[in-house]
Each structure stands twice: as C-alpha cells, then as structure tokens.
Amino acid sequence: MTTSGVRVRIAPSPTGEPHVGTAYIALFNYLFAKKHGGEFILRIEDTDATRSTREYEEKVLEALKWTGLTWSEGPDVGGPYGPYRQSERKDMYWPYAQDLLDKGHAFRCFCTPQRLEEMREAQRAAGKPPGYDGLCLHLKAEEVTAKMEAGEPSVVRMKIPTEGSCDFHDGVYGDVSIPWESVDMQVLIKADGMPTYHMANVIDDHLMKITHVARGEEWLASVPKHILLYRYFGWQEPVFMHLSLMRNADKSKLSKRKNPTSISYYSALGYLPEALMNFLGLFFIQIAEGEELLSMDELAAKFDPDALSKAGAIFDIQKLDWLNGRWLREKLTPEEFIARTLEWAMLNQRLTEGLKLSQSRVSKLGELPNLAGFLLSGDVGLTPASFAGLKSKPEEVLEILTTVATDLEKMPDWNVEAIEAELRDVAERTGKKLRVVTPPLFVAMSGSSRSLPLFDSMALLGRSVVRQRLKAAIAVVTTMVGAAG
C-alpha cells in the first residue's frame, strides 16, 4: 500500500470554521508523506459532542479540498482502517479502557464537577498549578462497586508515575524531558462514555498504523500522557514532531480575535489556494531570495523535515498578498484568470443571489456595483462618516456591534433564518427595536445605509467575512466614542 510504510494524518475537530493553522499542519503532513512515498490520512476528531457538528465537518472537508490537498483515506473516501470519524468508533474505545482498569493503570473517579472546580480554585489560590488531587485514586474495589451499583456518575482517569520524568525525542525539539509530577491524571473516558482526545487519539493512531505524528507545539506537554498510554498498552509509539505555532508579526498567537484565521475568509477575498499553500509551505523549506514562487510539487521537492525551525512561523499578510499577486499575474493565463474570477464571484452563490436581491432595488444596471458590490469587496472602506447618518449615538452603535459580534460566534448554523432569529433575539435582550439594531449592521456590512436585505447579505458574505467587517466597524466606532468623550 505504501513504498515506505510512512503513514501520517491530519485530525481536525469540527467545532468551528476551519483555521489556517489546520491547513498549515495538514500541508506539513502532506509534504512529509509525499517526500517519503507514504500515505496521508484525514480523520475527524468529533468526540466533543456538544461542539462538533456535521456542518463544520463539511466545512473542514470543503476547506481542505479547496487548498488542493488530497488524502488516501478519510470519512469521505473510506479506507481499510475506518470509520474515520471518532464518533462512529465509540464502541472501539471501551475495551481498551477496561484493559487499563484491569491492569491497574487507570481508576474510576466519582468526583462531581462542583468538587473539581472547588479543588482547582483552592489550588490556584495556593499558587499551585490546577490538577487532579487523587481523591478517588485509592478507593477500594468494594467502594467502587458500591458507587457504580448506586448509579453514581464516573469517569476513567489514567494513573501517572509519581517519580522521575518522561524522556523522549521530538523531531523538531530534539531531546525533551518532562517531570511526571507536572502531568495531570488525565480523564480517558468521560461520564457519557465518549473518550477524551488523549485516549481516542492514541488508540486511533495505533489502529490506523500512524508512524509519525506531526502537530502543533501546543500538544508537546501532552506527549507524556500519550507515551504512557502506548507503554500501558505495550504498543510502539510513533515519531513525534511538534511544529511551531503560526504567530502574528508581534509574536502573539494567531487568533481570530486579532486577525482573519478562517480558510473561508481567504477564499472569499479572492486568494488563490495555490498562493496560500505556497505561503504556508515556505515555513518548511529553505530557499534563496527570488525562489519564493513554488507549486505543491516544487514545495515537496525542497521539503526537508530535518531542517525545521523552532523560531515560529510569522503569518505576514503582506507577504501573502505579494505572493498571491504574483500567482495571479505570473502563473495564470488570461483565460485562466477570467475563469478563476468567475469561480470566485460564484462562491456561495454570491453573484447570482446578490443579483436576484438587487433586481427590485435598481432603476438601471449601472447602479448594481454600488448596491451589490460589497458582496465581492475585500474592504468596504468604513470611516466615521459611514456611521454619521445613523439616528443612534456612537455609544449605542458600539453596544449593538459588540453584542452582535459576540452572539454570532455562538451560532451553530449560518443561514438567513438563523441570522434573523439571532438578531431579533439581540433586539429583545437589549430592549431595542429591530429597526434600531439593523441600521448599524447595514453600514458595517456594506459601507452604506442603502443596501440589500441585511439577513440575506450576511448569509451570502459568510461567517468569517461578517466577523472581520464587524471587527472593522467596531474599531471605527470606538474612535468615534473616544472622540466624543
């Protein structure tokens, strides 16, 4: 099945808009497999039943396909080690948990969420790192049986050595040593019977014969738990490689609160997938100046996993813009450029649906760009003058924008009906009429008080673009409030 036996995977959780960090980690794994003649696998880690949705899973698949990555096994293509959704593998995990309990490597914990929170608060107050205190670790077998028979909810936790350290070699960080005393007694099976990430991750990687685990450096501290599980089960652990996180220019963590992070945002604004992957791929190779423009095959040819930097990957939007411009000018024929432009304009049916919404609002076709152009624009050019014509004062406008921005993040669905329901709810909760809430949003979305229907427009723009436009609007109105004060 492979020429090298190398098997790597990307395992995103479908709990939100696909992040460019997912594409960054996926690209590394893809290039690693390509370099070694191995297999690249996609697995959906949806054990968080409260936050995982099929809609977000579809967005993950859609976003990764847009980037040009392909996988040989996954939930959409199948494979010999399926299912490739953890929620569909639920029944596989319990026998392994029972094995750990039988061998004394794990224990039942009956502590209530309230008790655990009080414990953590006391630890924080004492200046100690929060971690399980081992209350249920020494329960006798008959006590456990009695609690189980009484129907007390419980989780399964893993036991951790009390002395020494976990020493391992990381493909990026080299030799690493983490004291066992700093490792928490991790929950392996939750009260609802679902495994935690750590349990499912190790079992799935073993059963899917994953040879190399490449992921973000935030998981480095979890390696001792994973290695311990491999040892408890008597399995060969994979090679671990922890990649530096992508950061902003000021070295802060790349997050949607500061910058656009959704893959869908970059596709909506007209970045080419080849340019985005070219940009991300430059973090994994060493090149001379003037060699930056590289296709996926050229990235794979230059890819050197032994020369990775721990310094951190800076997400420089200006460099991405520069690369994208070069791809548009140098890599596309005029015919390809036209085809790509039309494909981009039709994303999420923006063009056709926008024209339908415009038909009843124009007296001549020449008015269309001013009326509907915001659906395709990268920036609607908001200034204080944009909001000057509103009846609400800047303080009220700011309250509306910030409330809506927070609420829209919590919406599981993104469609006209859901957006309307959410905005009506905002109006009701804030004691305002809907006709007071919507005008600032019209301006934030389109740059104008005269526009297409608001709910439809927000649905067509997509969550990631709406998020950025609200952020830009909040920044402008904040300056107005400051100036007025």
Strands (E) located in 51-154: 106-109
Q: Could you confirm whether 256 is annotated as catalytic?
A: yes
Q: Is 270 left (phi over 0), alpha (psi -120 to 50) or beta?
A: left
Contact between 421 and 405 under an 8 Å Cβ cutoff? The reply is no
Strands (E) located in 219-268: 239-243, 246-247
Three-class SS state of 262? strand
DSSP code string of 38-81: -EEEE-B----TTT--HHHHHHHHHHHHHTT---SBBTTTB-TT
- Residue of 34, 190, 209, 256 marked catalytic: 256
Count Cβ atoms below 10 Å from residue 259 Cβ, excluding itself: 16
| Residue positions forming the annotated binding site for ATP | 256
Q: Is the dihedral of CA 301, 43, 47, 188 positive or negative?
A: negative
- For 242, the token pair is 């922890």
Nearest alpha-carbon partner for 424 in 411, 406, 405, 437: 437
Burial (CB count <10 Å: 0-12, 13-18, 19+), residue 327: buried
Output the CA–CA distances (angstroms, integers) from residue 388 to 392, 475, 476, in the order listed: 9, 15, 11
- Nearest-5° Cα angle at 446, 443 to 450: 70
- For 304, the token pair is 């050197």
- For 140, the token pair is 């006798």
| Residue positions forming the annotated binding site | 109, 111, 136, 138, 256
Q: Is the dihedral of CA 391, 397, 403, 409 positive or negative?
A: positive
Residue by residue, what is the 3-state secondary structure of 409-464?
Answer: HCCCCCCHHHHHHHHHHHHHHHCCCHHHHHHHHHHHHHCCCCCCCHHHHHHHHCHH
Cis peptide leading into 238, omega within 30 of 0? no
Residue 134: partners with Cβ closer than 8 Å, 6 or more residues away: 185
Q: At what angle do helices 273-281 and 317-326 cross, to 10 degrees?
A: 130
| Residue positions forming the annotated binding site for Zn(2+) | 109, 111, 136, 138
Catalytic residues: 256
